[in-house]
Amino acid sequence: SSSAQLKSFVSKTGSNVVIGVDGGTESIRACCFDAETGAVVGKSCASAYKTYHPQPGWAEQMPQDWWENLGEAVRGAVASISDSDSNICGICIDTTCCSVVALDANKEPLRPSLLWMDARSAAQTVEVMEKCKGDPALEVNSGGNGPLSAEWMTPKSLWIRQNEPEIWDKADTICEYQDYINYKMTGKMVASSCNAAARWHWDGEECINESTEDDPFPGRPTSLYEKLGIPELASKLPTICLPMGSLIGGLTEDAAEHLNLPVGLPVCQGGPDAFVGMIGLGCIYPGQLCLITGSSHLHCVVSSLPHRSAGIWGAYRGAPLPGINFAEGGQSSTGSIMFWARKVLGAEEVDYATLDSEAEKIPPGCEGLVALETFQGSRTPETDALARGALLGLSLSHTRAHIWRAFMEAVCYGTRGCVEGLEKAGHACEEIIIAGGATRSKLWLQMHADVTGKPVVVCENSEAPLLGSAILASYGVGVHGCISDAVKAMVRTKMRVEPSSELSPEYTNLYNSIYSKVGQCVKPISHAIARLRGGDSSYASVSEIAPIISPSLLACDFANMKAEVLRCVKAGAPRLHVDIFDSVALDSPWAFTFGPQMVKAIRDCSPDAILDLHMCVYKPARFVDAMKEAGADRFIFQFEAMADEAEVLELAKRITDAGMKCGISINPATSVSTLDSILASGLISVVNLLAVEPGFGGQKFNTVILVKLEHLVQLRQEKGYSFEIGVDGGVNEKTVPQVAKADVLVAGTYVFRHPVSLSQGVMDLSTAAKSSTAYF
């Protein structure tokens, strides 16, 4: 059917209706809209499908169910239209994004779909980052720093290839929910450029071009597929890619019967539910940020330029629509915290409005109470799966209302952090268009405006994805000449909340002086707690901890100690490693470094860092009290300098009694099994594996420690020990991937002599470590 034939479904005289469909995680919903005005002209009808969890972390749905449930929802929505003269002229569907399907040559599903939330491909995300480091296609993941999400198309495809080779071989097509359902309606297999740009590593502007002999796969990341050994993926994925709002084709006879709609009815291209929701909120102009609030907050800012940088996902070129780009930020726990707080405050019988009205009487800053909203880790601007929530400044005068308000404020501060992160990356944000649960609280809406300093806009229609689909259909069939005209005609603003001129500066002050500092201060403690609990994070699909990089001051410029310590602080290094050598334990006059006075001086210029002392000295017990007084946090003694096990245990007890953590450092030649009974004592919090002979920096990394590292990791797991493992010496960009399983990496020469800066050195090591662990 030609474009003209398809558009002929639009009546010149009668009232035209479009069907918007939203294929969500739990169910699929359909609703009819006036194609001119966007007014709802019937009921929204939902039909629920099942999700199967065959293994922990896996989530599957049956593509056949999507089709059956689509029929039920659409038939219900159409039957609910009261005006019998209505002329249905088009349909458009959005779906969950990256619910991946493998189809045979007849386009029949070969296996259940790997639902978007399915985390089985976590190991493949690491493989992609490792094998494809530097590939331009990966820049959309935090400027190339990753991590990559197991939700996305590439790791899921790779999982199928590696784990179900027979399915892979039989698969004529790999696609997703969106493409499968459009195929079932039209008989045409086409991808949506929004899904492809945001989740497939495709270039959203290029991929909509027709393939040519010279460029058979325009905008596709063929070099990425080659590096992964799956070049065939380029031809298994749909070879035609259309932007949202394009006409795909008309309903086939079977589809028309199934949906109870006319044969040939135009089907227009949709895309991911969240990003079609952006269109339903009218968020299509650079400078607009769409804030979807629910149990979490998702921030999508429309940008005129596709800047990319660390801590940001995107910007995705040509998405959601050609000519624009968008970048994402996110907070993992927001509405879920308010739900949780109501429960733990014993206020389940009290409605949210009452809790809000109590909180409204409390001044900004909650009279000294501040909370952190990173209960489930931090997504952006800093990705930290081990971040946790906090409530600081509690006093006996604080009430339920203070706590309620503190959590509301914490979520808004977190939003400000994400917005600032996006702005720093070059994505200006002038107004926030908000949807979801937070719009139900007047107080919270105003607080979002006051804390971020941006106007917050609420739209009339709260079903943004459904309306977004209707807008795309309406444009696709030609009722509106362009998407921005359709948006102008079909999206209506309900209210615009301006930041208060009085409260906004007050919040800026609180944000800068308190909130923005709390996260960094609490971070080492949160990490330690997470580690004690096994490093678990409920939003991380596979959570291994990215090691902390601890600069070793042995490599610094001794004549400028203060400036060197401040360089480490500026680099955000949460720890400093101080080598205390007395030229006796290590028999060399040059292995003679610092005493307690220097430790105190270092402490004075880095009050927040954790100070680890590597004590390679004769009779270390003599130094315990002095080093504690000087400000040390960990006292890591050298095992080979001790006379026997009794001395070791006595010293360990003395260190812990003095209020420091006790660590033990071993030479490359010392085997881990000699520590068995010492570790069983429970007194040891840190095991430092020296990868060089102690005494001097700049030596070559000794790979003998790799087996010892494995051994220690296993031992810790088997026996349920909670000590940290450090690797010390010869750590650089090349050796890091081999020791990324450690908790702390001590690096001197590499970071202090880094050609760009110490910060860059720390960042390089951290990135190299993260990309070699299953971090996200």
Ligand X SMILES: O=C(CO)[C@H](O)[C@H](O)COP(=O)(O)O
Least Cβ distance, residue 639 to ligand X (angstroms): 13
Please tell me the distance from the alpha carbon of residue 564 to that of residue 551, in angstroms, as a whole number: 10
Three-class SS state of 689 = strand
Site for ligand X in 327-366 (CB under 6 A): none
Q: Which of 518, 497, 523 is nearest to 365 (CA)?
A: 518
Strands (E), 80-158: 87-95, 100-103, 113-114
Using CB under 6 A as the binding rule, whether residue 749 contacts ligand X is answered as yes
484 burial level (CB within 10 Å; 0-12, 13-18, 19+): middle
352 burial level (CB within 10 Å; 0-12, 13-18, 19+): middle
Which of 450, 579, 582, 612 is an active site residue?
A: 579
Please tell me the distance from the alpha carbon of residue 381 to that of residue 419, in angstroms, as a whole number: 9
Least Cβ distance, residue 690 to ligand X (angstroms): 6
Long-range contacts of 398-402 (CB under 8 A, 24+ apart): 398/366, 398/367, 398/368, 398/369, 399/358, 400/345, 400/347, 400/355, 400/358, 401/355, 401/358, 401/359, 401/361, 401/362, 402/359, 402/362, 402/366, 402/367, 402/369
Binding pattern to ligand X, positions 692-731, x when CB under 6 A? x-xxxxxx----------------------------xxxx
Taking contact as CB under 6 A, which single stretch among the options 69-77, 318-326, 452-460, 746-754 is the one that binds ligand X?
746-754
Please tell me the distance from the alpha carbon of residue 441 to that of residue 430, in angstroms, as a whole number: 22
The answer to whether 579 touches 616, Cβ cutoff 8 Å, is yes
Instruction: Tokens for 79, please give them.
Output: 């039957």
* 10 versus 555: smaller Cβ distance to ligand X: 555
* 379 versus 754: smaller Cβ distance to ligand X: 754
The DSSP secondary structure of 390-438, one letter per residue, reads EEE---TT--HHHHHHHHHHHHHHHHHHHHHHHHHTT----EEEEEEGG
Least Cβ distance, residue 637 to ligand X (angstroms): 13
Q: Token pair 């968008």 is at which residue? A: 326
Number of residues counted as binding ligand X (CB under 6 A):
22
Contacts of 695 (CB under 8 A, 6+ apart): 581, 586, 588, 590, 591, 616
Least Cβ distance, residue 54 to ligand X (angstroms): 46
Q: Residues 156, 258, 577, 754: which binds ligand X (CB under 6 A)?
A: 577
Using CB under 6 A as the binding rule, whether residue 635 contacts ligand X is answered as no
Instruction: Tokens for 199, please give them.
Output: 């989740």
* 71 versus 748: smaller Cβ distance to ligand X: 748
* 579 versus 724: smaller Cβ distance to ligand X: 579
* 215 versus 693: smaller Cβ distance to ligand X: 693
Please tell me the distance from the alpha carbon of residue 513 to that of residue 507, in angstroms, as a whole number: 10
Sign of the C-alpha dihedral computed for residues 76, 81, 85 and 87 taken in this order: negative
* 534 versus 698: smaller Cβ distance to ligand X: 698
* 271 versus 620: smaller Cβ distance to ligand X: 620
Least Cβ distance, residue 729 to ligand X (angstroms): 4
Catalytic annotation present for 728: yes
> Nearest 5 degrees, angle CA 752-CA 755-CA 758?
40
Least Cβ distance, residue 731 to ligand X (angstroms): 5
The H or E element containing residue 611 is: strand 610-616
Q: Which of 506, 709, 765, 726 is nearest to 612 (CA)?
A: 726
Least Cβ distance, residue 565 to ligand X (angstroms): 15
* 192 versus 665: smaller Cβ distance to ligand X: 665
Taking contact as CB under 6 A, which single stretch among the options 122-130, 190-198, 653-661, 687-695 is the one that binds ligand X?
687-695
Which of 22, 135, 203, 728 is an active site residue?
A: 728
* 172 versus 733: smaller Cβ distance to ligand X: 733
Least Cβ distance, residue 591 to ligand X (angstroms): 8
Taking contact as CB under 6 A, which single stretch among the options 278-286, 501-509, 540-548, 748-756 is the one that binds ligand X?
748-756
Site for ligand X in 542-571 (CB under 6 A): 552, 554-555
* 6 versus 554: smaller Cβ distance to ligand X: 554
Please tell me the distance from the alpha carbon of residue 427 to that of residue 429, in angstroms, as a whole number: 6
Please tell me the distance from the alpha carbon of residue 282 to that of residue 302, in angstroms, as a whole number: 11
Instruction: Tokens for 465, please give them.
Output: 């994805």
The answer to whether 249 touches 291, Cβ cutoff 8 Å, is no
Please tell me the distance from the alpha carbon of residue 644 to that of residue 640, in angstroms, as a whole number: 9
Site for ligand X in 584-623 (CB under 6 A): 614
Please tell me the distance from the alpha carbon of residue 770 to that of residue 721, in angstroms, as a whole number: 24
* Cα R_g (the chain), whole angstroms: 29
Least Cβ distance, residue 581 to ligand X (angstroms): 7
Least Cβ distance, residue 751 to ligand X (angstroms): 8
Q: Residues 168, 217, 413, 750: which binds ligand X (CB under 6 A)?
A: 750
Q: Residues 746, 765, 768, 769: which binds ligand X (CB under 6 A)?
A: 746
Taking contact as CB under 6 A, which single stretch among the options 90-98, 120-128, 460-468, 690-698 is the one that binds ligand X?
690-698
Three-class SS state of 459 = strand
Catalytic annotation present for 203: no
Least Cβ distance, residue 669 to ligand X (angstroms): 14
Helices 442-452 and 400-424 meet at what angle, rounded to 10?
40
Beta bridge partners, 52, equal 60
Q: Residues 748, 761, 764, 768: which binds ligand X (CB under 6 A)?
A: 748
* 78 versus 731: smaller Cβ distance to ligand X: 731
Least Cβ distance, residue 482 to ligand X (angstroms): 59
Least Cβ distance, residue 749 to ligand X (angstroms): 3
* 292 versus 642: smaller Cβ distance to ligand X: 642
Binding pattern to ligand X, positions 647-686, x when CB under 6 A? ----------------------------------------
* 577 versus 741: smaller Cβ distance to ligand X: 577
Three-class SS state of 677 = helix
**Prior bond of 147 cis (ω within 30°):** yes
Using CB under 6 A as the binding rule, whether residue 579 contacts ligand X is answered as yes
Q: Which of 290, 360, 371, 368 is nearest to 333 (CA)?
A: 371
Three-class SS state of 625 = helix
Interface residues with ligand X (CB under 6 A) are: 552, 554-555, 577, 579, 614, 692, 694-699, 728-731, 746-750
Catalytic positions are 579, 728
